[in-house]
Structure 1
């Protein structure tokens, strides 16, 4: 994922960031919240400056909603050219690495959160 020398890889840097749609089954709007449950999820790249990770690229991952924080991790990227590659992408930015606090009104198993959030590539999970 971070190997800049391989032309067939993603060539990302640990400092790269982008926005993702947490769950592509929910409407795509930055201004709206969604309700999310534990389990597998398919996300989508919403806003990216990384040429190898264009907008619309799909991500396979998992959401955890039963603790004190909302955690999302994506382990595969499905590129527009048909390739599927392993990744370590988690929700957050430099301040909230790997998690977000749930919005007010959230319950275990039903977390209220923005539908589009920042995400970062990591070498290992936080």
Structure 2
């Protein structure tokens, strides 16, 4: 198991005290089924400031921890557990990212609301998954209610609001 450096402990303790403040509940949907705009919770923005995570910061992830070596990957609407494969600021590889998947639009949309380091407590954050030219494109032969994508890996990007 990867452990956080000793100098990171005060930061994680501070973040733990902030609590978790962001969820995918109550997100309005666009006509195509993709999620509409959503602000980041103040607790997430504060946690990201403490971690020095800025919009545009990114790292590689495995999209679904249960399908890490599969191709294609089969995704459905609902919760997702991903994990970092490299550092993202103070967050070490294997940090779990928890969020929500929407498959209704032309691309799969994934928003992350929480990170959990391997040896730490949950930390609120706002981030999105992207691949290549911005989107996680569904394969044309995806059955209704399911999005098939070619890759099990993508990038996670820190955001200050979901657009």
Task: List, as ranges, runs of 4+ consecutive aligned residues in structure 1 with deviation greater than 6 Å.
Answer: none
- Corresponding position of 2:71: 32
> Cα RMSD over matched residues?
2.0
The 3 A distance-change label for structure 1 pair 15 and 94 is: farther
Deviation for aligned residue 1:88: 0.5
The size of the alignment, in residue pairs, is 116
Which residue of 98, 108, 117 maps to 2:144?
A: 108
Gaps of 5+ in 2: 1-46
Structure having the higher helix fraction is: 2
- Corresponding position of 1:6: none
The 3 A distance-change label for structure 1 pair 2 and 80 is: same
**1:17 lines up with 2:64 in the alignment:** no
**Equivalent residue of 1:83, what SS?**
coil
Normalised to the residue count of structure 2, the TM-score between the two structures is 0.63
Normalised to the residue count of structure 1, the TM-score between the two structures is 0.80
Gaps of 5+ in 1: 4-8
CA contact (8 A) 1:22 1:115 kept: yes
- Corresponding position of 2:33: none
Q: Distance in 2 between matches of 1:18 and 1:115?
A: 14
Asked which structure has the greater CA Rg, the reply is 2
